[in-house]
Amino acid sequence: MSLIRALNKSDMIGTARILDLFPSEIFCRDNEDRIALHYAAETADAETFKRILEMDQSLIHCQDQNGYTPLLIASMSGNVPAIKLLIENGIQINHIDKEKHSAVHWAVACGQLEALVTLLDNGAKVDFADNQGAQAVHYIAAAEDISLERCEAILHMLLKYGANVNARDIDGRTPILWAASYGNLEIVIILSQIGGDIYATDRDQLGTIHCAASNGHPHIIEYLINTLDPLIVNSVDRNGDTALFYAVTLGHYECARLLLLNKADVNYQDRHLRCPIHCAAAKGQLRMLKLLKNFGGSCEIQNRRGDLPIHEAIQAGAKDCVEYLLSSHPSSINVSNHDGRTGLHLAAASGNLEMVVLLCSRNAEINPLMLYKDTLLTPLDLAIQKNHELIVEYLRLRQDGKLAEELSEEMRKEIRSQLKYQILAVREDKQKDDIVPNTTRILNQSGKLPVGENKNTVKMESVSQETQTTMQIYRAAATNTSRPESRDSINVARIYQSTLPIQQFIAKATSTADLEQNLPVKQLQLQGEKIQKISGNAKKRDDNGDWPNNNNWTSEEDDFEDENKKKGKSSRDGYGLQLKQLKENEYLYEKNEKRGKMKKKLVEMTRIDENLSNDNDNNDNNDNGKEGSDNPESSSFYGISDISHSG
């Protein structure tokens, strides 16, 4: 029997015999590069450990392939006598392994209270961060199979030696967020009682309720709702996703049901204009679909690309979900997104013959046209492009499928014009919506967005009239825009309130002077001045009847066009298809002033064709990676796998 094997079996008699006969075995290594002293640190009594250590004291710094020294092994196993002997012999007490875990990390993670006390009493640092930025206090928050009393004692020791109860890892997660992710309700309560910020959010603006929902902990959600403001159920992260999005996407039925029972907004739309029901359909979760539908979830809301939940289900190949959605909304079978893509396009492009047959049997239109990179495509075109021979044969022989080029030229021309009109309107609308996220980004970069407060409960403090005016101007510019008919379901005010918590920003300022000197506020003020300038120019032209021609139109007026009293005059030929207006603002105009109105001509569709055909590819590329794939067969589900944050 070898020395390592004897130590591994805790055979101290055999160990002593081998040390007498073969002392050189203390240098032997196993397949993990561990030596006898590593095993002795875990299993040996104090006398045996001391004997091996005294045979060659240089071995105390020996590391295995993970960077573990005998001290780290002793800390994991709680071998306090071995820890004391190593400290007496000059061990590096703050040594870290290859993942930057210290002895304190390991003692806490393994619930070794006595070992932790010994280490801290001998100068071990309490605030070392591992390669994920996590400190020991994070690991006690994520403790499993450790009694509550021991957890409390360990936490007390860490705080006694200077641990920060609100320390953040590289993702910005605090110990409370770790505890919520691991379902440790008692630790959440303890941390909040000793100064932990229960409203804390990470760098993606995920709060405790998001972490609990994404990891399936309804008891944490129930505690948060009962303890905090109930409106926390609709708090949003950086992408505008509420906790319900996480519960639905990751399949945590009880969490989703609890959130809905507590008035979570079932039809809330995130920055991509998805609703939770889009996420359920994209994941093929029929039970979740039925739950959302029972609580008033709409199957008729389009996301950013114009896709309905049924499009997501078709793309996912979820036949049971598609059948359920068709049974409740039969007319949705032929609904297209903004590019003209229908469910049959998706099914044909993905090669799902069973889905193609299902849709055709429910009277799906066989030859709808979609526009992809200035090319019209039918489902048959896509099936041929993807070499799906069975689908090609089925559409050709059984359903009279046609190529786009086989359809009448008049039909193709009309549909092309309609789709380009629609695409242009949606892109123009998206650019306006991007004002809000860009403002949030400015505030985030300044470090002035508050952490740890519920935006629904923050009260406005006293701020200067100038600052309030600037905020109101920017709010008007960001929200008061026309929407295409296909986007009627969008609640612009709600999206604005959820993605741009300006009230939070104001409430967190230490003083009015501090607020007005901040760079983000100055940038907002500049934006307000820009709008004022444009409005002033418009007013002068109202008085003088002097409107610019195409060549004199300024870049500022390109963004915000005013209305003209003289109806019938064009604001600018060749650009834009929607009427634009700037909301009358009491901070900009006196109440008695009346603004004129101006009509904006719709440009000829042939000119739109020319403009769009030149930049269609560029616009498609700009959307790629932000709104989902530009592939014609790709659905619009912007997966939220990146929003599942656990410790």
pLDDT in tens, 542-595: 455 444 444 444 444 444 344 433 334 333 333 333 333 333 333 333 433 443
Task: Report the CATH number at residue 317.
Answer: 1.25.40.20
Domain-located, residue 168: no
Q: Is residue 449 located within the same domain as residue 412?
A: no
Phi, psi (deg, nearest 5) at residue 371: -115, 120
| The pLDDT of residue 534 | 53
pLDDT tens-digit map of 456-486: 333 333 334 443 443 343 333 333 333 333 3
Q: Is residue 442 located within the same domain as residue 515?
A: yes
Q: Is residue 380 located within the same domain as residue 327?
A: yes
What is the average pLDDT across 431-439? 55
Q: Is 362 helix (H, G, I), strand (E, B) or coil?
A: coil
Which DSSP category does 26 fall into? G
Domain-located, residue 464: yes
Contact yes or no for 266/292 (Cβ under 8 A): yes
Q: Considering 559, 591, 622, which residue would you say is the last residue of a domain? A: 559
Is it the case that residue 278 has pLDDT exceeding 90?
A: yes
Strand pairing of 375-377 and 370-372? Answer: antiparallel
Residue 361's domain comprises: 266-424+603-647
- Mean pLDDT (the chain) is 76
Q: Is residue 540 very low, low, confident or very high in pLDDT (cuts 50, 70, 90)?
A: low
Domain-located, residue 312: yes
- Of the two residues 608 and 183, the one the predictor is more confident about is 183
What is the average pLDDT across 608-632? 42
Distances, alpha carbon 634 to alpha carbons 249, 346, 421, 456, 567, in Å: 18, 7, 22, 36, 44
Q: Is residue 323 located within the same domain as residue 400?
A: yes
Q: Is residue 487 located within the same domain as residue 417?
A: no
Domain-located, residue 98: no
Domain-located, residue 639: yes
Q: Considering 559, 584, 618, which residue would you say is the last residue of a domain? A: 559
Cα(321)–Cα(314) distance, rounded to whole angstroms?
8
Is it the case that residue 405 has pLDDT exceeding 70?
A: yes
Q: Is residue 280 located within the same domain as residue 418?
A: yes
| Percentage of residues in the chain having pLDDT higher than 90 | 52
Q: Is residue 450 located within the same domain as residue 535?
A: yes
| The pLDDT of residue 432 | 64
Element (H, E) at 312: helix 309-316
Domain-located, residue 22: no
Q: Is residue 526 very low, low, confident or very high in pLDDT (cuts 50, 70, 90)?
A: low
Q: CB-based contacts of 389: which residues, under 8 Å, 6+ apart?
A: none
Domain-located, residue 360: yes
- Alpha-carbon Rg for the chain in angstroms: 32
Residue 102 bridge partners (DSSP): 96
Q: Is residue 497 located within the same domain as residue 516?
A: yes
| Least confident range of 14-23, 429-438, 498-507 | 498-507
Contact yes or no for 178/165 (Cβ under 8 A): no
Q: Considering 533, 559, 585, which residue would you say is the last residue of a domain? A: 559
Q: Is residue 482 located within the same domain as residue 353?
A: no
Q: What is the pTM of this model?
A: 0.67
Element (H, E) at 160: helix 148-160
| Least confident range of 102-116, 305-319, 481-495 | 481-495
Is it the case that residue 162 has pLDDT exceeding 90?
A: yes
| The pLDDT of residue 17 | 86
Domain-located, residue 468: yes
Question: What domain count does the chain have?
Answer: 2
Q: Is residue 392 located within the same domain as residue 439?
A: no
Residue with tokens 């060749």: 574
Q: Is residue 640 located within the same domain as residue 555?
A: no
Q: Is residue 541 located within the same domain as residue 459?
A: yes
